[in-house]
Amino acid sequence: MKRFIGFVIKEFYHIFRDYRTLMILFGIPAAQLLLFGYVITNEIKDARIAIYDSSKDEVTRKISEKILSSGYFILEKNLTNYSQIGPTFREGNTKLVIVFGSNFAKKLQQEGKADLQILGDASDPNTANILVNYASGIINNYLVSINAEQIPMRIIPEVRMQYNPALKSVFMFVPGIMALLLMLISALMTSLSITREKELGTMELLLVSPLRPIQIIIGKVIPYVLLAFIDSCIILGMGKFVFGVPIEGNIVLLLSESLLYITMALSLGILISSITNSQQVAMTLSLVALMLPIILLSGFIFPVENMPVILQVLCHIMPPKYFITIIKDIMLKGNSFIYVWKETLIMILFTVTFIMMSIKKFKIRLA
């Protein structure tokens, strides 16, 4: 028994001396708890909205103030023309537009009812539905407060969802799943490429070959670029013909952006493979370090605006976030390149950075 107890104590000593084991035992659970606790929430705060008030009377001003002071909404802009609604949604920042009809207060006083439009960006149907319910609830609370003092009045909201009138969740999941699958497939396949050479002992053949590091890397990437591009075409085809997700924008632009994203993901996979020595470690990094952040921090399921500032910063260094924005803009909104050039530029910078880091690390490993 003493030997057994001594053995157990020795194992505790080994564990406490190994910082990596302690990190797995205590660091990862704590980090995941904080991540899930802050990210997974149905509440939405500080959503950006636009208001078109053609009446500009005391009642519309009070309703607008009540909506903006609720903590759920931030005013992005005041619209001066109804035709500005479409371009405002296409810019991507505005999640909701509230439209007050003309002579709003006068109709409410004389006829006992007034019309109001609530327009939501349903490219993310869950967020749009929640925001519409928030706005409707605030308007109803205002009606309760004035009906207690006057003749009962009604405000009749006309709700309309832009880009996804039926609020189909598949409109949100197809772009997100596409970003997730292409990242995992591309990064996983390429992360195993160089580590496979190391494990099989064929790295020496590359060392004595006349090929330069950049040629070796590009040579390993090209086959996976073509295969992943075929995957993207399959996903887009299934999304359109099986699930009915529209492709409103230019298909050539959509495929070009997909090719850029694939190249970026493959370059990340090469970077992972160049800094790891085994396929197991490379696979673990590709799956664990990429899949969970993509699901939680890319805006795929949970709105970025809900998260604490530090997590929002992490979201903005997640390449899939920009690809999901591009896919939604082109597929659902029919946007042209002028609306997605910033996201495209960011993905190009990610790609160049990963490739340059891969080349540098590759040279170090071969030295």
Are residue 322 and residue 196 in the same domain, yes or no? yes
Could you tell me if residue 315 is inside a domain?
Answer: yes
Mean pLDDT over 209-214 rounds to 66
pLDDT, tens digit (0-9, with 9 covering 90-100), for 232-285: 888 888 888 888 889 999 999 999 999 999 999 888 888 887 777 777 777 777
Distances 117 to 98, 253, 286 between C-alpha atoms, Å: 6, 33, 46
Could you tell me if residue 215 is inside a domain?
Answer: yes
pTM passes above 0.75: yes
Are residue 100 and residue 231 in the same domain, yes or no? no
> How far, in Å, CA of 301 to CA of 314, rounded?
16
Could you tell me if residue 103 is inside a domain?
Answer: yes
Are residue 152 and residue 239 in the same domain, yes or no? no
Are residue 102 and residue 225 in the same domain, yes or no? no
Are residue 156 and residue 179 in the same domain, yes or no? no
Are residue 228 and residue 149 in the same domain, yes or no? no
- CB-based contacts of 343, cutoff 8 Å, min separation 6: 322, 323, 325, 326
Could you tell me if residue 1 is inside a domain?
Answer: no
- CB-based contacts of 308, cutoff 8 Å, min separation 6: 38
Are residue 342 and residue 261 in the same domain, yes or no? yes
Mean pLDDT over 196-212 rounds to 66
Q: Which of 328, 23, 37, 287 is nearest to 176 (CA)?
A: 328
Burial class (CB in 10 A: 0-12, 13-18, 19+), 222: exposed
- Domain end, chosen from 134, 162, 190, is at 162
Residue 233: both structure tokens together = 């075409």
364 pLDDT exceeds 60?
A: no
Could you tell me if residue 40 is inside a domain?
Answer: no
Domain ranges, residue 226: 170-366
Are residue 150 and residue 204 in the same domain, yes or no? no
Mean pLDDT over 73-81 rounds to 90
Are residue 235 and residue 354 in the same domain, yes or no? yes
Are residue 156 and residue 220 in the same domain, yes or no? no
Mean pLDDT over 162-188 rounds to 83
Question: Residues 207, 161: contact at Cβ < 8 Å?
Answer: no
State how many domains the chain has. Answer: 2
